[in-house]
């Protein structure tokens, strides 16, 4: 009898065995010393439960609404680039798995399958993650294609004016194989003779380091889709996001891939939730690999969570079936955690169900 996979974390070891070193390192590594990469996971261990007893949990309801869309659980799929490196079906497999689980998938700008190809996999609620490029005409073209393909929101990544220093990628000379392209750029005008999407490095050179809050306002003028800003780590920026009229924010440090020695998102989540005062949705990603992690994030005020690495590792290990299993495992673990903490629905999860051992000066 084969060893049965019993938790999400076990998929990483399988992915490491199956993937070329360059690809595994690209997905798994963080910036510089990778302190934040470790901290993203470790921070959850400093949050403990205060379970309540003798509460009827014979039925546990995990359904929720995100930007008006009803989903089965407060667990969504984060944007991760170049998923065909993990599995030939890449983003299309993940889209099908998300749809089957009745949750939201976010497609990366740097995807190997296009908006149209992902949309053709069938019905589903999908968001589009956008990098702001120097050529605003290119941005407009991307957003228009996302709209036509039925995507429901734009997730603007705001924490990558320049790419972080990922030393594993430098050592490995990371690059896309010649038979893979960034499909969302095919047929678009980069404003130069070179073909759009011909290389990762070329596309990265077009990302605009001058991106600022005025550009968020500009983005609102070219689309009626709700805009979510990804990469918020301070209460100050959360307040500005509210003033800018965005629909939501994602508390995120880009999977610890940008600036090392920033706090884990879960550590700053509560102060950001307080700053927002319920005026917009607050989501969080980073280090989430258990249903208990999801519950802790919800108890600190998150509307929902996003998962990233767990998805690509399970995709590498078992394709679409692996992603389905990851979503089911996290769902089952969250359901059990809610029951054992005395929370029959998401509205019954509160700050009173946990206590933290975080440093008081953060």
Structure token digits, residue 8? 């999400």
Binding positions: 79-81, 108, 129, 131, 157, 166, 230, 252, 254, 257, 308-309
Q: Give the per-residue pLDDT at 199.
A: 59
Catalytic amino acids? 254
Binding positions for glyoxylate: 131, 166, 254, 257
Binding positions for FMN: 79-81, 108, 129, 157, 230, 252, 308-309
Q: Give the per-residue pLDDT at 357.
A: 78
Q: Give the per-residue pLDDT at 359.
A: 65
Helices 309-341 and 21-28, axial angle in degrees (round to 10): 40
Distance, in Å, from the CA atom of 160 to the CA atom of 144, rounded to the nearest integer, reads 23
Domain 8-356 superfamily per CATH: Aldolase class I (3.20.20.70)
Q: Give the per-residue pLDDT at 197.
A: 47
Distance, in Å, from the CA atom of 112 to the CA atom of 197, rounded to the nearest integer, reads 10
Could you tell me if 111 and 180 are in contact, meaning their C-beta atoms sit under 8 angstroms apart?
no
Q: Give the per-residue pLDDT at 203.
A: 74
Distance, in Å, from the CA atom of 344 to the CA atom of 332, rounded to the nearest integer, reads 14
Q: Give the per-residue pLDDT at 189.
A: 67
Please count the CA atoms within 13 angstroms of the CA of 119 that sit on its side-chain side.
Answer: 14
Could you tell me if 101 and 72 are in contact, meaning their C-beta atoms sit under 8 angstroms apart?
yes
Distance, in Å, from the CA atom of 113 to the CA atom of 217, rounded to the nearest integer, reads 29
Q: Give the per-residue pLDDT at 360.
A: 59
Among residues 270, 204, 276, the alpha carbon closest in space to that of 239 is found at: 276
Other CB atoms within a 10 A radius of the CB of residue 362 amount to 9
Show pLDDT as tens, one digit a residue, over the chain (362 residues).
Answer: 357 999 999 999 999 999 999 999 999 999 999 999 999 999 999 999 999 999 999 999 999 999 999 999 999 999 999 999 999 999 999 999 999 999 999 999 999 999 999 999 999 999 999 999 999 999 999 999 999 999 999 999 999 999 999 999 999 999 889 889 999 998 776 554 344 444 576 677 889 999 999 999 999 999 999 999 999 999 999 999 999 999 999 999 999 999 999 999 999 999 999 999 999 999 999 999 999 999 999 999 999 999 999 999 999 999 999 999 999 999 999 999 999 999 999 999 999 999 987 765 55
Structural domain boundaries in the chain = 8-356
Q: Give the per-residue pLDDT at 1.
A: 34
Structure token digits, residue 180? 């893979």
What is the end-to-end Cα distance of the chain in Å, rounded? 48
Q: Give the per-residue pLDDT at 235.
A: 98
Q: What is the reported pTM? A: 0.94
Helices 136-148 and 213-222, axial angle in degrees (round to 10): 50
Distance, in Å, from the CA atom of 111 to the CA atom of 240, rounded to the nearest integer, reads 30
């Amino acid at each position: 009898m084969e060893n049965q996979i019993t938790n999400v974390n076990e998929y990483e070891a399988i992915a490491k065995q199956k993937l070329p070193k360059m690809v595994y390192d690209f997905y798994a590594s963080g910036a510089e010393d990778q302190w934040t990469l470790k901290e993203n996971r470790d921070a959850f261990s400093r949050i403990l439960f205060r379970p309540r007893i003798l509460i009827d949990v014979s039925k546990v309801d995990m359904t929720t609404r995100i930007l008006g869309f009803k989903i089965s659980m407060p667990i969504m799929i984060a944007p991760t680039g170049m998923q065909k490196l993990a599995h030939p079906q890449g983003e299309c497999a993940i889209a099908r798995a998300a749809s089957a689980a009745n949750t939201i998938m976010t497609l990366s700008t740097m995807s190997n399958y296009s908006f149209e190809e992902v949309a053709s996999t069938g019905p589903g609620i999908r968001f589009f993650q956008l990098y702001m490029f120097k050529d605003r005409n290119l941005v407009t073209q991307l957003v228009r294609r996302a709209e036509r393909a039925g995507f429901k929101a734009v997730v603007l990544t705001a924490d990558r004016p320049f790419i972080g220093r990922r030393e594993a990628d430098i050592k490995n000379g990371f690059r896309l194989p010649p038979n893979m392209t960034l499909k969302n750029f095919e047929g678009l005008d980069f404003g130069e003779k070179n073909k759009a999407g011909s290389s990762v490095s070329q596309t990265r050179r077009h990302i605009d380091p001058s991106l600022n809050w005025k550009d968020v306002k500009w983005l609102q003028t070219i689309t009626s889709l709700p805009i979510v800003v990804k990469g918020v780590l301070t209460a100050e920026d959360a307040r500005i996001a509210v003033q800018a009229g965005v629909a939501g924010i994602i508390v995120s440090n880009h999977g610890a891939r940008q600036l090392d020695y920033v706090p884990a998102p879960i550590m700053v989540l509560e102060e950001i939730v307080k700053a927002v005062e319920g005026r917009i949705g607050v989501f969080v990603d980073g280090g989430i690999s258990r249903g208990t992690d999801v519950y802790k994030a919800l108890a600190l005020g998150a509307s929902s969570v996003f998962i990233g690495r767990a998805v690509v590792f399970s995709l590498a290990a078992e394709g679409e079936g692996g992603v389905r299993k990851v979503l089911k495992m996290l769902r089952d673990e969250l359901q059990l955690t809610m029951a054992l903490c005395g929370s029959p629905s998401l509205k019954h999860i509160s700050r009173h169900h946990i206590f933290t051992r975080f440093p008081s000066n953060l």
